């Protein structure tokens, strides 16, 4: 790259987006067009420490794409409605499908590489496994409208006769780490556990409502947000250097490849503070019981085959870094 690339980051004020922008800034990259709905101040903590060309509201950005020529080198589309308890599908359809289609079509027309966020929620209860194969997309049975919307866009993207020169859809598994406080109920169990410990001295986890899983032993593939943005950064540089072969275009799992229990997650939140775990179990809310994933584990063979070789942070290492360096000092990344 002879000049610094101009990169679009959507969802830039959100959890993963803000960490990614900070990551780019730390590498000296600041030719960034940041796109989000910036009205919620809680999403903009530490925003003044980030460097970029321009921050643009989502709808204004779509309008500007049609009205003026940006010299964009790559688009990282992280913006989405991610609330799995939002059951109004029209909201997900507008924000997760139609918005994504508009960006895809622009990237295709202008020959701009595109990386977008999909989700492990597309796998539903895992009846068909967790392999990032294009062949199983029509068989997948997501458990909520959010997962449905992500799978519908994945299917649409795969079916397109025209596409960006380089593109990937990344199926994020359970992401945790700094800058997630604004997510409220949808923030990670670590975030909620830390605050429960601070206020009550204990952590409450959901009981299992399936006989094949003990309380607290529901399993997820938890990935530290710093690992996730490192993968995006690697793909981005491969694409910008024109070494990303078109045969690699497509969907990729983005987890660690190792499922861990919610009990382990909560226990390590105590341990990171030098405390003995004190965990109680409570009934799971009825509105999510039949839409709850009891096990997720990413098959990471495809990403490894594409050339990504870095190891992923262990749960113990990630929780310790998050708790000791961000939650305890009450700082954003």
> Do residues 215 and 208 make contact, with C-beta atoms less than 8 angstroms apart?
yes
Residue of 51, 110, 183, 258 with catalytic role:
183
146 is catalytic: yes
Taken in order 50, 77, 254, 310, is the CA torsion positive or negative?
A: negative
User: Angle 89-94-95 (CA atoms, 0-180°, nearest 5)?
Assistant: 100
Give which of 196, 205, 207 is closest to 273, Cα–Cα. Answer: 196
Residue of 23, 123, 130, 146 with catalytic role:
146
183 is catalytic: yes
User: Angle 192-15-253 (CA atoms, 0-180°, nearest 5)?
Assistant: 95
Taking CA atoms, 164 is separated from 87, 109, 113, 161, 314, in Å, by 31, 8, 6, 10, 34
Q: Would you tell me how many other CB atoms lie within 10 Å of the CB of residue 81? A: 17
> Do residues 21 and 52 make contact, with C-beta atoms less than 8 angstroms apart?
yes
**Catalytic machinery residues:** 146, 183
């Amino acid at each position: 790259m002879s000049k610094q690339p101009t990169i679009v980051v959507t969802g830039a004020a959100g959890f993963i987006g803000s960490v990614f922008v900070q990551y780019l800034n730390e590498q000296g990259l600041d030719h960034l067009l940041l796109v989000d709905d910036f009205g919620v101040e809680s999403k903009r903590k530490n925003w003044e420490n980030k460097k970029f060309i321009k921050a643009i509201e989502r709808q204004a950005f779509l309008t500007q794409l049609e009205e003026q020529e940006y010299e964009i080198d790559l688009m990282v589309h992280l913006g989405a409605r991610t609330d799995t308890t939002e059951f109004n599908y029209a909201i997900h359809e507008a924000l997760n499908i139609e918005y994504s289609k508009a960006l895809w079509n622009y990237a295709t027309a202008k020959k701009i590489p595109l990386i977008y966020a999909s989700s492990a929620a597309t796998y539903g209860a895992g009846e068909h496994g967790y392999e990032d194969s294009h062949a199983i997309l029509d068989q997948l049975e997501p458990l909520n409208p959010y997962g449905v919307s992500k799978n519908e866009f994945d299917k649409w993207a795969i079916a397109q006769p025209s596409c960006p020169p380089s593109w990937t859809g990344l199926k994020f598994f359970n992401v945790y780490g700094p800058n997630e406080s604004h997510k409220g109920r949808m923030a990670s169990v670590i975030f909620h556990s830390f605050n429960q410990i601070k206020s009550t001295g204990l952590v409450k986890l959901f009981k299992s409502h399936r006989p094949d899983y003990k309380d607290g032993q529901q399993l997820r593939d938890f990935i530290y947000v710093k690992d996730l943005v490192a993968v995006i950064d690697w793909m981005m540089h491969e694409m910008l250097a024109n070494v990303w072969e078109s045969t690699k275009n497509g969907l990729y799992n983005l987890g660690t490849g190792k499922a861990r229990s919610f009990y382990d997650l909560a226990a390590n939140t105590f341990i990171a503070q030098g405390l003995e775990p004190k965990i109680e179990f409570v009934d799971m809310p009825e509105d999510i019981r039949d839409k709850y994933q009891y096990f997720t584990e990413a098959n990471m063979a495809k990403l490894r085959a594409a050339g990504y070789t870095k190891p992923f942070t262990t749960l113990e290492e990630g929780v310790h870094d998050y708790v000791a360096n961000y939650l305890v000092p009450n700082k954003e990344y």
